[in-house]
């Protein structure tokens, strides 16, 4: 009968934070323990701006030896979208050695129980948070995000999503008590009595397959959900975005070791160019959970083939905004312009298709025809990005040549309402910085449908002319059902239209933002409050974060009787 290890110092240190996170996911009000302003760091043991930059510079050009068993080679080759080679070498694994080694620590990790596991995870996040400035540079120089975005989305916001996953994992595990007495009356006879113990047990090794654009933000939920539920976690980063997750693994291994657990419970699997290591690992019998963010093609392959594992995927989608009417035309244009521009549209949540009635929309600034609205939107984007310094700060760099190729091909798809502009970056002349393009398409033409019904990942959006808002709503339904959507937006002053759009989002499940005109954007979700994806349409089979995201990562074993 294992005693509950309530007195562990890490539990004492982090229990209050865990309780706050548990409350936040219950109320879904605003909450975050991770400051998002760079100036908040530099005291109480956290790295300040210069220290963070120095730490990042110090790791460049080195071999990051994580002390992992089964390292048969060293691989690297990351090049920043801003130009510089990172020159970091990472361990390449022999799965036949590494995977069994990762399993060795599972019984002790299981015996630790949900509370201590959560506290260990929170210590990992706390140490990562203290190095946020360092991680910001690592995320910037792998994803191409501008520094401020890399700092916030790759730092505190990613840490929030990790903490949220730990909270869900903890809550799910303690829904069943550790033990119970069971006494069943038997009329005049003695009652039946049993003692029962319940232990949450992880499934085995969990594989996290990282993405290029948001290595920490998209990687942390699965990583921490699996670790907190008693699994070992193998992190296979995108070959262009290894460093942020390698540093994460380094911190996790140190915390595990310090807490007396096997550091091999968390390991990195960096791959050789073109190796396809994710495919190999995904089919290993030891791998029982997979979290993946990336292309629909590989996500579907994982779902179809990694049948020994629970597979959680975020894939491609076609995000749509229904534009019907507004009582804040200026706010709507500003909000949309920002959404299209942020990180050059390289977010899975960036709106792609704007569905606009051919006859125009009503606004507080008077009626606007389709052409007028598209021109106004183009002007709003141009205005937002007119200053190169500001443009660089918002756009970041194109993450890879594939994005640039799609952008270059955009004029072939239709009439260009807003041409993309190359922005020069004085600090990083090699960075490919581009403003978004807006292309006009006709929602009634089948040829145009081929364009707007595919995901065109990057800074390309389509202004699609429709016969009516009712047609827009129907195209929205078809788009979500067939192509999936991470986000849906709508602008309307009509209660009837709002309800029609909402019904579509309830039917096909998708997350809806209505009439955003201020400083919250369609492409941003806040941990503890907003769900990222619905898990109910083709864009993703899971959401960040709910009970379903964690409940399948462990099983509860009951022992009843005596001894």
Q: Which parts of 98-127 interact with a copy of itself (CB under 8 A)?
A: 107, 110
- Of the candidates 150, 53, 49, 137, the one whose C-alpha atom is nearest the C-alpha of residue 396 is 150
Nearer to a copy of itself, 429 or 561 (CB): 561
User: How far apart (Å, rounded) are the C-alpha atoms in residues 488 and 363?
Assistant: 21
Which of the stretches 212-220, 256-264, 361-369, 534-542 binds a copy of itself when contact is defined by CB under 8 A? 534-542
Tell me if the bond preceding 545 is cis, omega within 30° of 0.
Answer: yes
Bridge partners (DSSP) listed for residue 544: 532
* Residue 543 binds a copy of itself (CB under 8 A): yes
CB-nearer residue toward a copy of itself: 272 or 555: 555
Interaction between residue 3 and a copy of itself (CB under 8 A): no
Report d(CA 288, CA 292) in Å as an integer.
Answer: 13
| Cα-only R_g, the chain | 25
Q: Cα(491)–Cα(322) distance, rounded to whole angstroms?
A: 6
Q: Specify the residue, 246 or 355, whose C-beta has the smaller distance to a copy of itself.
A: 355
Contact region with a copy of itself (CB under 8 A), list: 172-180, 246-254, 290-298, 398-406: 172-180
In sequence order, the 6+-apart residues with CB closer than 8 A to the CB of 263 are 67, 253, 254, 256, 257
Closest approach, Cβ 496 to a copy of itself, in A, equals 10
Structure tokens at 240: 């262009």
Please give the Cα distance from 465 to 371 (Å, whole number): 9
| Cβ proximity to a copy of itself, 12 vs 556, nearer residue | 556
93 has which bridge partners? 71
Q: Which residues of 73-96 are buried (b: 16+ CB within 10 A; e: fewer)?
A: eebbbbebbbeeebebbbbbbebe
As a whole number of angstroms, the distance between CA 31 and CA 323 comes to: 31
Nearest to 394 by CA among 338, 348, 461: 338
Residue 228 tokens read as 């907190």
Identified binder of a copy of itself from the candidate list 26, 67, 260, 276, rule CB under 8 A: 26
Residues 296-355 that bind a copy of itself (CB under 8 A): 303-304, 307
Establish if 4 lies at the interface with a copy of itself (CB under 8 A).
no
Q: Which CB atom, from 12 or from 192, has the smaller least distance to a copy of itself? A: 192
Return the closest-CA partner of residue 290 out of 270, 310, 271, 276: 310
Is residue 427 a contact point for a copy of itself (CB under 8 A)? no
Per DSSP, the three-state class of 411 is helix
How many chain residues bind a copy of itself (CB under 8 A)? 72
Q: Does 20 bind a copy of itself (CB under 8 A)?
A: no
Distance CA 421, CA 435 (A): 5
Lay out the site mask for a copy of itself across 197-236 (x = CB under 8 A, - = otherwise): -xx-x-x---------------------------------
Among 45, 273, 429, 561, binds a copy of itself (CB under 8 A): 561
**Residue 148 touches a copy of itself, criterion: CB under 8 A:** no
Minimum distance from CB of 519 to a copy of itself (Å)?
Answer: 5
Among 71, 80, 341, 511, binds a copy of itself (CB under 8 A): 511
CB closer to a copy of itself out of 171 and 233: 171
Binding mask 464-493 for a copy of itself (x = CB under 8 A): ----------------------------xx
Q: Which of 13, 175, 272, 445: binder of a copy of itself (CB under 8 A)?
A: 175
């Amino acid at each position: 009968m294992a005693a509950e290890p309530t007195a562990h110092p890490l539990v004492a240190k982090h229990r209050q934070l865990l309780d706050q996170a548990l409350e936040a996911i219950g109320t879904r009000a605003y909450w975050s323990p991770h400051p998002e302003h760079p100036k908040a760091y530099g005291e109480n043991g956290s790295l300040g701006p210069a220290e963070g930059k120095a730490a990042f510079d110090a790791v460049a050009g080195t071999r990051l030896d994580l002390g992992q068993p089964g390292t048969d080679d060293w691989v690297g080759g990351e090049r920043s979208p801003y130009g510089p080679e990172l020159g970091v070498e990472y361990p390449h694994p022999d799965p036949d050695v590494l995977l069994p080694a990762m399993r060795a620590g599972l019984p002790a990790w299981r015996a630790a129980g949900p509370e201590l596991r959560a506290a260990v995870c929170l210590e990992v996040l706390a140490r990562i948070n203290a190095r946020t400035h360092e991680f910001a540079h690592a995320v910037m120089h792998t994803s191409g995000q501008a520094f401020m975005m890399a700092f916030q989305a790759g730092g505190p916001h990613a840490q929030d999503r990790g903490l949220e996953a730990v909270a869900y994992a903890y809550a799910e595990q303690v829904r069943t008590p550790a033990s119970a007495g069971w006494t069943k009356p038997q009329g005049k006879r003695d009652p039946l009595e049993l003692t029962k113990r319940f232990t949450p047990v992880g499934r085995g090794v969990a594989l996290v397959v990282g993405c290029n654009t948001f290595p920490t933000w998209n990687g942390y939920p699965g990583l921490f959900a699996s670790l907190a539920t008693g699994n070992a976690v193998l992190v296979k980063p995108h070959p262009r975005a290894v460093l942020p997750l390698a540093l994460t693994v380094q911190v996790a291994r140190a915390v595990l070791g310090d807490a007396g657990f096997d550091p091999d419970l968390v390991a990195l699997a960096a791959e050789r160019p073109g190796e396809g290591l994710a495919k190999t690992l995904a089919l290993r019998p030891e791998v029982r959970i997979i979290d993946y963010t990336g292309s629909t093609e590989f996500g579907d392959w994982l779902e179809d083939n990694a049948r020994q594992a629970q597979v959680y995927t975020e894939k491609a989608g076609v995000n749509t905004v229904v534009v019907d009417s507004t009582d804040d035309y200026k706010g709507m244009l500003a909000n949309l312009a920002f959404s299209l521009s942020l990180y050059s549209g390289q977010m899975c949540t960036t709106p792609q298709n704007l569905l606009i009635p051919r006859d125009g929309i009503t606004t507080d600034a008077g009626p606007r025809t389709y052409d007028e609205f598209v021109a106004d939107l183009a002007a709003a984007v141009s205005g937002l990005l007119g200053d190169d310094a500001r443009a660089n700060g918002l756009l970041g760099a194109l993450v890879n040549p594939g994005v640039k190729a799609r952008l270059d091909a955009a004029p072939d798809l239709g009439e260009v309402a807003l041409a993309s502009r190359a922005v020069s970056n004085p600090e990083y002349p090699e960075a490919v910085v581009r403003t978004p393009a807006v292309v006009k398409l006709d929602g009634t033409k089948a040829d145009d449908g081929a364009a707007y019904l595919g995901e065109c990942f990057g800074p390309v959006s389509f202004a699609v002319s429709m016969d009516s808002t009712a047609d827009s709503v129907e195209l929205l339904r078809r788009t979500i059902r067939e192509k999936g959507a991470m986000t849906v937006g709508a602008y309307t002053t009509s209660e009837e239209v709002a309800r029609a759009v909402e019904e579509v989002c309830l039917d096909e499940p998708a997350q809806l933002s209505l009439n955003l005109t201020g400083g919250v954007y369609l492409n941003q979700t806040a941990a503890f409050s907003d769900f990222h994806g619905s898990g109910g349409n083709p864009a993703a089979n899971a959401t960040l974060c709910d009970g379903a995201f964690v409940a399948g990562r462990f099983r509860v074993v009951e022992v009843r009787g005596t001894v």
